[in-house]
Structure 1
Amino acid sequence: MRTLLLPLFFIILINCSKSNADKQAVSVDLMEVIPEDKVSSAPPPPPPPAEISKASALTSTGIPKKIDTISRKVIKNGDMRIQVGDIKKAQSQINDILNKNKAYIQKEQFQNTDTDDHLDLTIRVPHKNFDELVNSFSNGVGSVLSKNISSNDVTEEYTDISIKLANKKIYLEKYRDMLKSAATTKDMLEIQENIRELEDEIDVAEGRLRFIDDRVNYSTLEVSLYKEKVRSSATSKIGFGSRFIDSLTEGWNGFVSFFLGIISLWPYFLLFPFIVFLWRKWKSRKNK
């Protein structure tokens, strides 16, 4: 009996020592795999991406798509008032300057008064030639009486409109896909109304972008050519006889106008006798 118990005791003792060694090995392995500073809870998931940022837009599949960098948009405008000696000669010089700078006249207006001649021009010129055109007018046409030049940076406005336009086009495609799978007539009408509103907004945004591009690519210059007339030279050619006859004519015309004005009051003349009759009758009753 002792011979059986003694080997069994040694076997149990060996198994216990092995189990303790295995537990220590497992604990050591876990400490090596998961350090203490990484045992803490995992960080929360990142927030969902924004709808569309200013640097990217979403494609129809929802994948961000980078928008091309928009170059700076600057609108240049100006106005000049120039005194010249001869309007026709100045026009010839202006045509040469316009051809040289690839510009054109958008609007032209001429006025001839007793004191001066005016030629007002609205000129459109490529953006890169604007400064050269202004210098040509300042140096070669006449005496510059006034000059105002302004620059307006519309890059931010152009960028905002472009981003909103990209958003609206994405929503428009999604609404069109929803329209294909609409189950009821009410849903179809609501989706069609949303599509119509988006199409109108897209047309307005695209029109605004085209307008900004036009103003950026072609600058506007308002030019007013001015020639003063010398009144003394004109009046000196009129003799005394002509001026005397003109005075008689003006006097006669004034008398005729006065006479016709009196005649136009004839209804009041008809009332005058009736008023006098009533006044006398009232006076006689008062005396009695």
Structure 2
Amino acid sequence: MKNIILLLSGLVLINCSKSGGEKYEVKADLMEVLQEDKEPAAAVPAPPPLAISEKLLPDENRVNKDVYTPKKTDTISKKIIKNGDMKIQVGDIKKTQKQVNEIIKKNKAYIQKEEFQNTDMDDNLTLIIRVPHKNFDALINSFSDGIGSVLSKNISSNDVTEEYTDVAIKLANKKIYIEKYRDMLKNAATTKDMLEIQENIRELEDEIDVAEGRLRFIDDRVNYSTLNLNLFKEKVRSSATSKIGFGSRFIDSLTEGWNSFVSFLLGMVSLWPFFLLIPVIIVLWKKWKSRKKNKN
């Protein structure tokens, strides 16, 4: 009897353990299902894009966060433009020009413009020279020593660091704006929005081109200084050394006298209306005088 009871108890325990395991497995399956159901629900769907027309003009609060501000590591070196003017009297233009070319080559400069004039009074050679800024002072000193008598010299320095920094910051901000407009163009909902955004992009591109051109111009003027050099040789007016002799000057004087006489005649002819008034005035004066005599 005891054996039967023990056998029945063992069977009951086995059945209970099986049923408990099944419940645990069911609970585990339900938890997995619940977790799988919860995961997609937890993911927040992306918000629908805003109407492009509402974002055509960037909001001030949003723009201020994106505006480029210079950092300590973005400090711009000094931008100084140097220019100069020199006038030098020389004994021989051709010889001096060779010396000038050697000095220019030595200082890694170049001639931007050259102009020569031969007048009755002097020979005149004008050069516009561009020289690396670090060689500017050496070039000036070389011209001041040895090639002639310096009659005038004017050197100026213009600090454009503030202007360069201002243009550079505005350029960086415009590039930020144009990238935002391009992103907005990809999500444009209507043709009107697309046209408005494209117009804003076009205007920004024009402004960026102008700003970049200004920076390139400043860099060029800073990196290469400009010197206006004038070389002249005064001609000696004497019969022994001058190419313009007495005969030539005598003919020139006759020509100038004739031209003056012709100018005088033309001036008198231009006064013909006044000459017509003179006879009229004389007749009226005589009539008035005769009437005065008759009264007396």
Superposition TM-score, scaled by structure 1 size: 0.65
Which stretch shifts more, 246-255 or 194-203? 246-255
Cα root mean square deviation, aligned: 3.5
SS at match of 2:179: helix
Partner of 2:141: 135
- State the alpha-carbon separation in 2 of the partners of residues 118 and 266 from structure 1: 46
Q: How does 1:1-288 map to 2 (within 5 A)?
A: 51-55=67-71, 70-232=76-238, 258-259=264-265, 261-284=267-290, 287=294
2:66·2:176 contact (CA, 8 Å) conserved in 1? no
SS at match of 1:141: coil
- State the alpha-carbon separation in 1 of the partners of residues 89 and 184 from structure 2: 66
Partner of 2:3: none
1:87 Cα deviation after fit:
0.9
- 1:148/1:238 Cα in 2 relative to 1: closer, same or farther (>3 Å)? closer
1:194 Cα deviation after fit:
2.1
- State the alpha-carbon separation in 1 of the partners of residues 202 and 178 from structure 2: 9
- 1:270/1:127 Cα in 2 relative to 1: closer, same or farther (>3 Å)? closer
- State the alpha-carbon separation in 1 of the partners of residues 197 and 205 from structure 2: 12
What one-letter code is carried by the residue in structure 2 that aligns with 1:55?
A: K
1:165 Cα deviation after fit:
0.9
Residue deviations 1:25-47, cap 9 Å, x none?
Answer: xxxxxxxxxxxxxxxxxxxxxxx
What one-letter code is carried by the residue in structure 1 that aligns with 2:133?
A: H
SS at match of 2:145: helix
- 1:156/1:280 Cα in 2 relative to 1: closer, same or farther (>3 Å)? closer
Residue deviations 1:57-112, cap 9 Å, x none?
Answer: xxxxxxxxxx7554443322222222211111111111122222221111222333
- 1:215/1:228 Cα in 2 relative to 1: closer, same or farther (>3 Å)? same
- State the alpha-carbon separation in 2 of the partners of residues 232 and 169 from structure 1: 69
- State the alpha-carbon separation in 2 of the partners of residues 227 and 92 from structure 1: 15
State percent identity of aligned pairs: 78
2:86·2:228 contact (CA, 8 Å) conserved in 1? yes
1:129 Cα deviation after fit:
2.4
- State the alpha-carbon separation in 1 of the partners of residues 252 and 87 from structure 2: 38
- State the alpha-carbon separation in 2 of the partners of residues 49 and 258 from structure 1: 79
- State the alpha-carbon separation in 2 of the partners of residues 171 and 96 from structure 1: 51
- State the alpha-carbon separation in 2 of the partners of residues 188 and 109 from structure 1: 54
List alignment gaps of at least 5 residues for structure 2: 1-63
List alignment gaps of at least 5 residues for structure 1: 1-47, 57-66
Which stretch shifts more, 72-81 or 160-169? 72-81
Partner of 1:19: none
What one-letter code is carried by the residue in structure 2 that aligns with 1:111?
A: Q
- 1:253/1:178 Cα in 2 relative to 1: closer, same or farther (>3 Å)? closer
1:175 Cα deviation after fit:
0.9
1:208 Cα deviation after fit:
0.7
